[in-house]
Amino acid sequence: MRRCRWTSRASAPCPSPACPGSGPGACRRRASASIPRRCCGRSGCDPARDRRGAPPVTLAEAVAAQTPLVQRLLDGVAAIGADSPGITREAYGRGENEAQAAIVAAGAALGLEARRDAGANLSLRWAGTDPAAPPVLIGSHLDSVVQGGNFDGAAGVVAGLAAVAALQAAGIRPRTDIEVLALRCEEAVWFGLGLIGSRCLLARLPPGALDLPHARSGLTLAESIAANGGDPAKLGQPLRDPARLGAYLEVHIEQAPQLMEAGAPVAICLANPGNVRHPFIRITGEDAHTGLPHRFRRDAALAAADLALSLEAMWLAEEAEGRPMAVTIGRFHTPAERHSLTMVSGRFELSLDLRAYSAAHLQALEAKLGAVAAEVAARRGVRIALGERSAAAPGPMDPGIVEGLAAAAARAGLEAPRLNSPGSHDANNFAAAGVPTGMLLVRNRNGSHNPDEAMETGDLMAAVAVLVHWLAEHTGP
């Protein structure tokens, strides 16, 4: 045992990265000289007695002092799943698990209690002073797409830890519990279904989801969850009562260049789109010789091109009417075994992602998709089977949290525009379950789901500052 120089109490080494003590008889770790003569309040340290005449630590100083912690964690998770030219952190696999372990270690240094639920989601809990108060959750994910970037998801988990460290450094003990969540398998690449961790948490898995195979291991989702310490038998009911959750907040890199255009480091999200996905659309025509006259052809490739261009025309018309949406075709090919320079293709496959910001708009777009597919099929003499379908509900942010985040940004001295997010996130499921939900978007130069994601640590710290000011206002004593 050592004696803490700020309290004169015998204590074990202070576990907090926010604690500035150093040298013999002092607390173990030092994050920044900008926090003079203060301990974290843990391991015997007493925040009421540690000032000894020192000026109070401002929230700005407390946030700035976490920059080394944030950089260390970002660098650490970047080394996990390195897969040139990008990063692959496989959901329910080694990459996601090693990233979780790194986050657990960082949480332990802050005195946070690690828990895992039946979906194998990770929660790091900082207990508040009122056990009856609904907790505030700060979450995102640690998995990535194949050869993606480092920041999609992971930046949000790191931001949650940094916010807790900053509050500890400022001597603020929350009234409510604050939990940092690392939600499982947000990316749809692994099971053809995204947002799986939050779906498990809130009982929003669609029928048959537990039987979906993992893209690499081949294990079903149920088997993958069980192999990682979860219990798929418990996923029919919410693992947390949405009515007992005070708020869900998520920090995420922006997936479009809107903040680059605006010259702002952080934005307040107004809504996330919902989506309807058809991963295996199949068009069936008739194989034929390349010399076959046009009037006799049932060309699946040209039908696919017509379908794609018709959907783009629908997209442009919707946006011209003030209804933002997006159409994405990710796969677009003839079957590999039928590739030929000298054959009219009778088969074609593609995928489709439709997204919009309201359930009513998504429903209308699905009806238009059906009409467009029927028209193309009739004109080209082919059959179009839309096939499997998955959906995610839109995620409108809670108006009160939006206003609270705007006020927090102002207190932090930041101008934060209000923007729609182009991507769906775990926040969608919390919003759909009735949990008051808010999001912050962080400037990112090169989009996401690619190796060139380029978020500046300083921009993430701006989001942490907004988060800390909101937490100080809404979870404080």
Judge if 131 and 230 occupy the same domain. yes
Instruction: Determine the pLDDT at residue 390.
Output: 87
- Name the domain count of the chain: 3
Domain check: are 309 and 348 in the same one? Answer: yes
Same domain for 124 and 172: yes
pLDDT of residue 38: 39
435 and 413 belong to one structural domain: yes
Same domain? 21 vs 97: no
For residues 194 and 303, state if they share a domain: no
Which residues constitute the domain of residue 8?
1-57
Entry pTM = 0.81
Q: Are residues 262 and 173 in the same domain?
A: yes
Domain boundary among 392, 420, 444: 392
Domain final residue pick, 366, 392, 418: 392
Do 17 and 69 fall into the same domain? no
Residues 228 and 324 reside in one and the same domain: no
**pLDDT at residue 23, rounded to an integer:** 34
pLDDT by residue for the chain (477 residues), tens digit each?
A: 333 322 223 333 444 444 443 333 333 333 332 333 334 444 344 443 344 445 668 999 999 999 999 999 999 999 998 999 999 999 999 999 999 999 999 999 999 999 999 999 999 999 999 999 999 999 999 999 999 999 999 999 999 999 999 999 999 999 999 999 999 999 999 999 999 999 999 999 999 999 999 999 999 999 999 999 999 999 999 999 999 999 999 999 999 899 999 999 999 999 999 999 999 999 999 999 999 999 999 999 999 999 999 999 999 999 999 999 999 999 999 999 888 999 999 999 999 999 999 999 999 999 999 999 999 999 999 999 999 998 888 999 999 999 999 999 999 999 999 999 998 899 999 999 999 999 999 999 988 999 999 999 999 999 999 999 999 999 977
Which of 370, 392, 414 terminates a domain? The answer is 392
pLDDT at 6: 25
447: CATH? 3.40.630.10
Look at residue 312 in the predicted model and tell me its pLDDT: 99
Is the domain of 262 the same as that of 296?
A: no
**In this predicted structure, what is the pLDDT of residue 108?**
98
My answer on whether 6 and 113 are in the same domain is no
pLDDT value for 76: 97
Same-domain check for residues 333 and 463: no
Tell me the three-class secondary structure of the chain, residue by residue. Answer: CEECCCCCCEECCCCCCCCCCCCCCCCCCCCCCCCCCCCCCCCCCCCCCCCCCCCCCCHHHHHHCCHHHHHHHHHHHHHCCEECCEECCCCCCHHHHHHHHHHHHHHHHCCCEEEECCCCCEEEEECCCCCCCCCEEEEEECCCCCCECCCCCHHHHHHHHHHHHHHHHCCCCCCCCEEEEEECCCCCCCCCCCCHHHHHHCCCCCCCHHHCECCCCCCEHHHHHHHCCCCHHHCCCCCCCHHHCCEEEEEEECCCCHHHHHCCCEEEECEECEEEEEEEEEEECCCEECCCCHHHCCCHHHHHHHHHHHHHHHHHHHHHCCCCEEEECCCEECCHHHCCCCEECCEEEEEEEEEECCHHHHHHHHHHHHHHHHHHHHHHCCEEECCCCEEECCEECCHHHHHHHHHHHHHCCCCCCEECCCCCCHHHHHHHCCCCEEEEEECCCCCCCCCCCCCCHHHHHHHHHHHHHHHHHHCCC
